[in-house]
């Protein structure tokens, strides 16, 4: 009998015994092929609430699975596996394992918001994608991508002084991602700058590198930003039931 | 004074016809087989009605007391029509208690019968006490007892409502949509969520048919305000693991089989033709259509007509119907009956 819906069979669900004899009959190898059940045996009811508690995910419970978001999606046009409608459903009914299978593509949302304008129920799918990516990160399901490490370094400097210092951003980024500072393209670029930029500007940049000047009167802004960031981190982790100790780590 | 109009059935359609006729000064005789007027909403103990949100005992109870207080209306309870003959303007009916009624016209407002879930044994009704019908949940709500698992009285933490039980199913000869169950189920789901906030409610559907203004007021509100979850799956069977009910089916959106534990399963039962329709058809000599409801004459040619002149029909006797539309049809039938009962109105002036 032919196997229908072959695409639904996952490699990890295929079981084969290299050597197996049943009732005296040798069924070794593919003769013993068995496909494990794909049955969903329970709903994780916390999942929707967790996503809904993160910024952007608030309206996920409105979804009625029309597929307008996926039809409108920029990324879906390039990668058919990028399917917001499907993920929203998995979250709604709490199929967490199924969702995690796609953890490496969910973050690919480009926030074009075409789905936002297509959605007849104001689910705000772009926000849900953002919340879901955030959820994956908070839960520790996805490792930090280099771009995220860069963003964090950038943000930290802004919060600390109101300014960024390009050299420091690069140095710290290379350090955190384990890359050497002396990279061919960087050396070439710095050399080019030294030869081409006016001396006064080079002096200014040199001083900034040495003394890290801050935006004047920045302290109050810094405190306000830090308070908000802490508050947000705490709220996010609390809504996911994560402890506060790791919240501090997350805020770093 | 002209002869009275005979109304068979004292539910929303019959009551509204009686009220309309009495308001026009027409004498009415209501024959109700039960000991109480009000029809399904009263006899089956419905809770809050769609779309008014009023309790059935207040809304339909109000109709009952208005009709019972009407001088022109005579009510015969606990009896049925046994014999019926004559022609428009001169019908003769004999009741089961021997009483005879001469009527100018007749309105059949004989309603429907709730689908008996025992006819879908795979869904566990009659086997597991915690499998109940929408009617039973209505009763739990209207009696004030609250939604509890019949097996041990505990409050359910997870409820499944199965739609289309006794509807849209060729296997059991019910090929129609019962029209109101989606809306009623959304309403019940909201009431469960309101009274038991920790109880999650899942509705298993093939399509959601909350038609017209029920769309946002029931379907959308149940999702948006009450977080009721809708799963596109027609359930294969309801079993038990000894502790909880197990609902099996295919989640069609993820193409995966599901076996999910539930505390309570609610059948959204459909509207069958009244079990008495074969008898009614023989007594009143009116045709039934192939679904088993009372056949209607062309809507465009004759208001509320049946296959027999002078005998009219209103409400769920003609097919699945809402309470509001049954009331409207009752008034339409009253108008048609009035035209037969007092044909010489204009000539008399």
Q: How far is A123 from chain B (nearest CA, A)?
A: 10
- Compute the mean pLDDT over every residue in chain A, rounded to the nearest whole number: 89
Question: Would you say the C-alpha torsion B205, B209, B213, B214 has a positive or negative sign?
Answer: negative
Domains in chain A, ordered, with CATH? 6-35 (no CATH), 46-138 (1.10.1060.10), 146-251 (no CATH)
Which pLDDT does position B103 carry in this prediction? 97
Which pLDDT does position B303 carry in this prediction? 84
Angle at B333 between CA B330 and CA B334, to 5 degrees: 85
* pLDDT value at B34 more than 90: yes
Q: Write out chain A residues lying below 8 Å of B208, CB-based.
A: 64
For residue range A122-138, list pLDDT tens digits in order: 999 999 999 999 999 89
Q: What is the mean pLDDT of residues B50-67?
A: 97
Count the neighbouring beta carbons within 10 Å of the beta carbon of residue B31.
25
Q: Are B262 and B158 a contacting pair, CB within 8 Å?
A: yes
Q: Write out chain B residues lying below 8 Å of A43, CB-based.
A: 202, 260
C-alpha A57/C-alpha A66 separation (Å) is 18
Which pLDDT does position A250 carry in this prediction? 47
Pairwise CB contact (< 8 Å): B255 & A8: yes
Query: Quick one: pLDDT band at residue B348, thresholds 50, 70, 90?
Result: low
Q: Are B307 and B331 a contacting pair, CB within 8 Å?
A: no
C-alpha B309/C-alpha A95 separation (Å) is 60
Q: How far is A33 from chain B (nearest CA, A)?
A: 20
For residue range A171-202, list pLDDT tens digits in order: 999 999 999 988 899 999 989 989 999 999 98
Closest alpha carbon within chain B to A45: B200
Query: Quick one: pLDDT band at residue A2, thresholds 50, 70, 90?
Result: low
C-alpha A202/C-alpha A247 separation (Å) is 41
Task: Compute the half-sphere exposure of residue A210: CA atoms within 13 Å on the CB side of its CA.
Answer: 6
Pairwise CB contact (< 8 Å): A61 & B258: no
Q: What is the mean pLDDT of residues B293-318?
A: 94
Which pLDDT does position B189 carry in this prediction? 98
Q: Are A82 and A76 a contacting pair, CB within 8 Å?
A: yes
Alpha carbon of residue B253 to chain centroid:
32
Q: How far is A186 from chain B (nearest CA, A)?
A: 49
Nearest to B8, CA basis, from B33, B25, B27: B33
Q: Is the peptide bond before B51 cis (omega within 30 degrees of 0)?
A: yes
Domains in chain B, ordered, with CATH? 5-111+274-348 (3.50.50.60), 117-271 (3.50.50.60)
Closest alpha carbon within chain A to B230: A64
Classify residue A192 as exposed, middle or buried by CB count within 10 Å of its CB (0-12, 13-18, 19+).
Answer: exposed
Query: Quick one: pLDDT band at residue A251, thresholds 50, 70, 90?
Result: very low
C-alpha B137/C-alpha B148 separation (Å) is 9
Mutation for B interface: A10, A37, A40, A89, most B CBs within 10 A: A40
Pairwise CB contact (< 8 Å): B253 & A41: no
Which pLDDT does position A167 carry in this prediction? 84
H/E stretch holding A150? helix A146-161
Which pLDDT does position A247 carry in this prediction? 45
CA dihedral A147, A150, A154, A155 (to 10 degrees): 60
For residue range B179-188, list pLDDT tens digits in order: 999 999 999 9
* pLDDT value at A205 more than 90: no
Which residues of chain A have a Cβ shorter than 8 Å from any chain B Cβ? Answer: 5, 8, 37-43, 45, 48, 61-62, 64-65, 86, 89-90, 92-93, 95, 98, 121
Three-state DSSP state, A123: coil
Three-state DSSP state, A208: helix
Query: Quick one: pLDDT band at residue B299, thresholds 50, 70, 90?
Result: confident
For residue range A19-51, list pLDDT tens digits in order: 999 999 999 998 988 888 889 999 999 999 999
Q: How far is B261 from chain A (nearest CA, A)?
A: 7
Q: Write out chain B residues lying below 8 Å of A48, CB-based.
A: 227
* pLDDT value at A8 more than 90: no
Q: Which residue has the tokens 């929303």?
A: B12
Task: Compute the half-sphere exposure of residue B71: CA atoms within 13 Å on the CB side of its CA.
Answer: 2
Pairwise CB contact (< 8 Å): B259 & A98: no
Closest alpha carbon within chain B to A48: B227
Three-state DSSP state, B106: strand
Lowest mean pLDDT of A82-91, A203-212, B86-95, B198-207, name the range.
A203-212
Q: Nearest CB to A42: which of B202, B255, B260?
A: B260
Which pLDDT does position B250 carry in this prediction? 93
Classify residue B45 as exposed, middle or buried by CB count within 10 Å of its CB (0-12, 13-18, 19+).
Answer: middle
Q: Which residue has the tokens 């994780």?
A: A44
Residues 6+ apart with CB under 8 A from A90: A96, A98, A99, B254
Task: Compute the half-sphere exposure of residue A96: CA atoms within 13 Å on the CB side of its CA.
Answer: 14
Q: Nearest CB to B229: which of A5, A93, A95?
A: A93
Which pLDDT does position A240 carry in this prediction? 87
Q: What is the mean pLDDT of residues B234-244?
A: 95
- Return the structure tokens found at B220: 């959308």
Most confident of A17-31, A189-203, A223-237, B19-33: B19-33
Angle at A62 between CA B135 and CA A136, to 5 degrees: 125
* Cβ under 8 Å to A: B residues 258-297: 258-261
Which pLDDT does position B344 carry in this prediction? 58
A197: left (phi over 0), alpha (psi -120 to 50) or beta: beta
Question: The pTM is what?
Answer: 0.87
Pairwise CB contact (< 8 Å): B256 & A38: yes
Lowest mean pLDDT of B98-112, B155-169, B195-209, B297-311, name the range.
B297-311
Which pLDDT does position B349 carry in this prediction? 57
Q: Write out chain A residues lying below 8 Å of B251, CB-based.
A: 40, 93
Pairwise CB contact (< 8 Å): A64 & B200: no
For residue range A137-171, list pLDDT tens digits in order: 899 998 888 888 999 999 999 999 888 888 889 89
Pairwise CB contact (< 8 Å): B256 & A42: no
Asked if B253 reaches chain A (Cβ–Cβ under 8 Å), the answer is: yes
Q: Nearest CB to B200: which of A37, A45, A95?
A: A45
Closest alpha carbon within chain A to B262: A42
């Amino acid at each position: 009998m032919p196997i229908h819906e072959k695409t639904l069979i996952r490699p990890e669900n295929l079981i084969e015994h290299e050597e197996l004899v049943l009732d005296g009959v040798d069924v070794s190898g593919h003769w013993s092929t068995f496909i494990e059940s794909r049955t969903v045996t329970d709903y994780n009811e916390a999942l929707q609430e967790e996503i809904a508690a993160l910024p952007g995910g608030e309206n996920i419970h409105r979804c009625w699975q029309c597929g307008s978001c996926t039809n409108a999606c920029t990324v879906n046009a390039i990668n058919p596996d990028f399917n917001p409608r499907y993920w929203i459903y998995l979250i709604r009914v709490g199929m967490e394992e199924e969702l995690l299978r796609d953890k490496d593509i969910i973050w690919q949302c480009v926030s074009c918001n075409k789905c936002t304008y297509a959605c007849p129920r104001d689910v705000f799918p772009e926000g849900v994608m953002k919340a879901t990516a955030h959820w994956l990160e908070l839960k520790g399901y996805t490792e930090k991508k280099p771009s995220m490490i860069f963003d964090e370094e950038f943000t930290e400097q802004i919060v600390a002084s109101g300014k960024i210092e390009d050299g420091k951003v690069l140095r710290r980024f290379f350090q955190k991602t384990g890359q050497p500072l002396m990279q061919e393209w960087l050396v070439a670029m710095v050399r080019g700058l030294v030869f081409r930029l006016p001396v006064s500007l080079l002096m200014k940049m040199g001083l900034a590198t040495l003394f890290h000047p801050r935006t004047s009167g920045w302290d109050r802004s810094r405190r306000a930003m830090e308070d908000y960031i802490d508050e947000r981190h705490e709220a996010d982790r609390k809504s996911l039931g994560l402890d506060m100790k790791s919240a501090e780590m997350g805020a770093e | 004074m002209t002869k009275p109009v005979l109304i068979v059935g004292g539910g929303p359609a019959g009551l509204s016809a009686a009220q309309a006729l009495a308001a026009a000064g027409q004498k009415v005789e209501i024959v109700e087989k039960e000991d109480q007027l009000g029809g399904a909403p009263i006899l089956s103990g419905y809770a809050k009605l769609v779309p008014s949100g009023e309790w059935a005992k207040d809304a339909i109870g109000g109709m009952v007391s208005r009709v019972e207080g009407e001088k022109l209306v005579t009510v015969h309870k606990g009896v049925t029509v046994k014999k019926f003959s004559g022609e428009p303007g001169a019908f003769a009916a004999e009741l089961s208690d021997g009483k005879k009624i001469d009527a100018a016209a007749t309105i059949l407002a004989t309603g429907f019968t709730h689908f008996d879930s025992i006819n879908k044994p795979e869904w566990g009704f009659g086997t597991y006490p915690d499998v109940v019908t929408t009617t039973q949940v209505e009763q739990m709500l209207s009696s004030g007892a609250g939604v509890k698992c019949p097996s041990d009285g505990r409050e359910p933490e997870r409820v499944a409502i199965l739609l289309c039980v006794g509807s849209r199913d060729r296997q059991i000869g019910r090929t129609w949509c019962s029209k109101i169950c989606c809306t009623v189920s959304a309403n019940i789901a909201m009431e469960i969520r309101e009274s038991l906030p920790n109880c999650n409610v899942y509705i298993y559907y093939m399509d959601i048919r909350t038609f017209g203004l029920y769309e946002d007021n029931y379907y959308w509100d149940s999702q948006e305000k009450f977080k009721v979850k809708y799963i596109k799956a027609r359930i294969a069977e309801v079993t038990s693991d000894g502790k909880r009910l197990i609902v099996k089916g295919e989640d069609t959106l993820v193409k995966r089989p599901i076996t999910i534990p539930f505390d309570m399963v609610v059948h959204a039962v459909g509207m069958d033709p009244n079990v008495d329709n074969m008898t009614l058809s023989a007594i009143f000599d009116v045709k039934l259509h192939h679904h088993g409801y009372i056949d209607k004459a062309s809507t465009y040619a004759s208001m509320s007509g049946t296959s027999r002149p002078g005998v009219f029909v209103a409400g769920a006797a003609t097919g699945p119907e809402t309470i509001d539309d049954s009331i409207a049809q009752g008034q339409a039938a009253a108008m048609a009956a009035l035209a037969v009962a007092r044909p010489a109105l204009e000539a008399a002036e």
